[in-house]
């Protein structure tokens, strides 16, 4: 006996506001029955002693721990600049506004 009938598909189609022909109702009923059968087979295979997982391979963190490293001093950062003004990089003005 199929798990889903044409009437079930017609009801779902009405809820989704889809207009389906009789041929489409039969076609979708067969497809949904196959899908539900596959889900049933998977649920039969799953055992209670198998721990749920999100990935088939064990995942471990490959990143190094964060370390605090001091940054450049203002003098070091500005040492290679072609022009410096008030401890900042001096660049040409690109806007005419003040």
* Residue 59 confidence (pLDDT): 82
Furthest-apart CA atoms within the chain: distance in Å: 84
* CATH hierarchy code of domain 6-45: 1.10.20
- pLDDT per 10-residue tile (average), the chain, 98 residues: 83 94 92 90 77 81 89 92 92 80
* Residue 1 confidence (pLDDT): 54
* Residue 95 confidence (pLDDT): 84
Tokens found for residue 69: 């490293």
* Residue 27 confidence (pLDDT): 93
Angle at 15 between CA 13 and CA 16, to 5 degrees: 65
CA atoms within 13 A of residue 71's CA, in its CB half-sphere: 5
d(CA 89, CA 80): 10
Domain boundaries, the chain: 6-45
* Residue 2 confidence (pLDDT): 62
* Residue 34 confidence (pLDDT): 92
């Amino acid at each position: 006996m199929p798990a889903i009938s044409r009437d079930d598909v017609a009801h779902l189609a009405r809820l989704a506001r889809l207009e389906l022909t009789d041929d489409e109702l039969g076609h979708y009923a067969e497809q949904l029955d196959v899908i539900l059968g596959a889900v049933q087979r998977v649920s039969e295979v799953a055992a209670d002693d198998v721990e749920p997982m999100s990935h088939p391979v064990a995942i471990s963190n490959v990143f190094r721990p964060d370390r605090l490293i001091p940054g450049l001093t203002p003098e070091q950062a500005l040492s290679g600049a072609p022009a410096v003004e008030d401890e900042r990089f001096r660049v040409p003005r690109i806007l005419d506004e003040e």
